[in-house]
Structure 1
Amino acid sequence: MSDESIEAVLKAHPTVRSDWLALRSEEILEPELLIVDPHHHLWDHPGDRYLADRAIADFSSGHNVISTVHVQCRSMYREHGPESLKPVGETEFVRQLATGRNRSDTSLHICAGIVGTVDILLGDDVQPVLEAHIEAGVGRFRGIRPTVVWHESREILPVANPEGLLRAAPTRAAVSCIHKMGMTLDLWAFFTQLRDVAQLCRDHPDLTVVINHTGGPLGIGPYKDKRTEVFAEWRSRVEELAALPNTVMKLGGLAMRYAGFGFNERTLPPSSDDLVAAWKPYMRLCIDLFGPDRCMFESNFPVDKAMCSYSVIWNAYKKIAADLTAAERRNLFSDTAARIYRLDLPQLPVTIAKS
């Protein structure tokens, strides 16, 4: 994705308004519950900075966040050198920020894991790029999230990403290399792409594939006012994915504009109850299908911050999972993420609930 494409995507997203978010305050539910946030970004885009200071302010806003995973967002690429190696600059950037800003006085480990990116059309030639990411991560690098999200409607995706990347022959070679090097594969795809995702998972049954953002249901563009129809089709495709044991689902990302909930258009920011009412059908279905040991809640900050605060979003997740057992909740809020991203958290024993 080019710099121009990144700028177009950022412009399409609603703006984070801190003064508006401050209009909603909630008491933190279960402040003792351990949380590993497995999906957030640090970036320095033109006119939009979300670096360690702002991230730590969110992570420290009341919930017991003990560790986080940074996921690629095309920031701070190398300016020089081979094109294929430029994404390694983001890993270098994040690792340096994390090393310099992790706080010795608390148990918060920011960016304990890093998920970077690579051009998967490189095929077998991804290996030196992956090796460079590992070296740059200095023990933090865990996986790859390539750019595969696509939709024909420019109302949904205002950039012309290539269609059908997951079906391309070089992709299969690249994914085999990712697996061989012991990495996870994160995929952000819209629900309309999930059959391609499922086929890739079948083709690589020993590779752990992490589905981002609740499987990408849509509620804008041609899908506006068609939530019932979209839910039915999304459900069918998610059921297909859940039947594959190498898949894991990240629960979150529904405060992006793509889902069409439009909380940013309200006079007041949403409460956790508002989020529960909108999101629970999607998230509980995923928990039922995948099991808590193959699901993890994510913040997707600062993208989702345009529609809700960090404290409210995690209150909503706690309410969505309120009736589950302690072991199931532990998986959803920390253990699944720690296991999948191989986080070194001695204070966090990893257990897998039986589904």
Structure 2
Amino acid sequence: MKIVDPHFHIWDLSQLSYPWLTTGPSTGVFGDNTPIRKTCTLGEYLAQSGSFHVAKTVHVEAAVAQGQDLQETAWLERVAQVQGQPNAIVAYCDLSSEAAKAKLDGQRRTTRVRGIRQILNTHDDELLNFAPQEFMENDLWLEGFELLSARDLSFDMQIYPSQMAAAAQLARQNNGTRIVLNHTGMPLGHDPASFNAWRAAMSELSLCDNVSVKISGLGMMFHDWTTEMIRPFVRETMKLFGADRCMFASNFPVDSMFSTFETLWTAYRDIVSDLSSAEQDKVFHQTAERIYRI
């Protein structure tokens, strides 16, 4: 089965520094990351695909050490030139930095860069907090965000449901910028109250036509996930955003700690098996190809 995976990572610990992989096992949202505290190559990723044909991929920045963002992009470009993938890159830039304009211009000069990600998750629980501040309330960051549209760069947005009202306001104020919500909006629970809060927040964000969603990362959020557990999140996301704005993604190797590639993509396939072939083509490859222009 042909798929386009619009959210995966590779890293080479001999080439670049990744503090989150080398400074001690993580205890955050994805738990102990010991299994992935090693070099993860493109070949290893593709070898896990099983019966699924990974036709194209989009690499998303993997939290390199400060100041190595352009180096990560250059390294990925070299990998792609030799091995043919990744087909597109979502690079890192601190949009609150005074150097944001120069960094964005530097990233844009790489032919495969299609967008930027700067993780925005904030939470009162330190184990769930990813960002040093609420960037969507930072005027310098907002000015940096406004630079994306003129450079034809999308923004991969990683937030929690509690941040979606602010994200919707940002999307409305920057309706010329494509925003891609990461990891199904990162629901923090699958009990009825948590699901309803997630759905209400997603509903508001879905009203912004420039926002699309990667259905991914549910294993990262629910380590003991099953197909039936994630089914409501997948179907509700597709109901709110439609197949034209939804795309399945792996979030490997992070989500490889919670399932095999075959198990994950088989679950996706089963959950949408009753949809038309046209809708399935969109969520498995066409939406990602259009959004990331590959």
TM-score by length of 1: 0.73
1:87 — aligned with what? 69
Is 2:10 the partner of 1:49? no
1:17 — aligned with what? none
Deviation, structure 1 residue 147: 2.4
1:119 — aligned with what? 94
Query: How many positions carry a matched residue from both structures?
Result: 272
Cα distance in 2 for partners of 1:111, 1:262 equals 27
2:272 — aligned with what? 321
2:27 — aligned with what? none
Q: Per-residue CA shift, 1:175-211, capped at 9, x if unaligned?
A: 1111110011101111121112111111101111000
Is 2:128 the partner of 1:156? yes
Cα distance in 1 for partners of 2:164, 2:238 equals 17
Greater Rg, structure 1 or structure 2? Answer: 1
Q: Per-residue CA shift, 1:254-282, capped at 9, x if unaligned?
A: 111xx2x332xxxxxxxxxx632011101
One-letter code aligned to 1:63: F
1:262 — aligned with what? 223
Cα distance in 2 for partners of 1:196, 1:89 equals 32
One-letter code aligned to 1:43: W
Cα distance in 1 for partners of 2:102, 2:194 equals 40
Is 2:9 the partner of 1:34? no
2:258 — aligned with what? 307
2:201 — aligned with what? 237
Deviation, structure 1 residue 155: 3.3
**Contact 2:184-2:216 at 8 Å conserved across structures:** yes
One-letter code aligned to 1:73: A
RMSD of aligned residue pairs (Cα, Å): 1.6
Is 2:179 the partner of 1:228? no
**Contact 2:180-2:214 at 8 Å conserved across structures:** yes
Is 2:175 the partner of 1:200? no
Cα distance in 1 for partners of 2:108, 2:40 equals 24
Cα distance in 2 for partners of 1:51, 1:303 equals 13
2:159 — aligned with what? 189
Of 60, 65, 68, which residue of structure 2 is paired with 1:71? 60
Cα distance in 2 for partners of 1:68, 1:97 equals 13
Unaligned runs of at least 5 residues, structure 2? 13-17, 23-36
Identity of aligned residues (%): 31
> 1:138-177, aligned counterparts within 5 Å?
139-157=111-129, 161-177=131-147
One-letter code aligned to 1:130: L
TM-score by length of 2: 0.88
One-letter code aligned to 2:63: R
Deviation, structure 1 residue 72: 0.5
Is 2:187 the partner of 1:217? yes
Q: Any idea what SS the aligned residue of 1:48 has?
A: coil
> 1:334-353, aligned counterparts within 5 Å?
334-343=285-294
Q: Per-residue CA shift, 1:229-288, capped at 9, x if unaligned?
A: 1111111000001111111011010111xx2x332xxxxxxxxxx632011101100101
**Contact 2:46-2:54 at 8 Å conserved across structures:** no
Unaligned runs of at least 5 residues, structure 1? 1-32, 78-82, 103-109, 220-225, 264-273, 344-355
Cα distance in 1 for partners of 2:177, 2:215 equals 20
**Contact 1:275-1:313 at 8 Å conserved across structures:** no
Cα distance in 1 for partners of 2:199, 2:86 equals 32
Q: Provide runs of 4+ in structure 1 moved above 6 Å.
A: none
Q: Any idea what SS the aligned residue of 1:282 has?
A: helix
**Contact 2:108-2:151 at 8 Å conserved across structures:** no
Cα distance in 2 for partners of 1:48, 1:192 equals 33
Deviation, structure 1 residue 171: 1.6
Cα distance in 1 for partners of 2:102, 2:128 equals 34
Cα distance in 2 for partners of 1:38, 1:194 equals 21
Deviation, structure 1 residue 163: 2.7
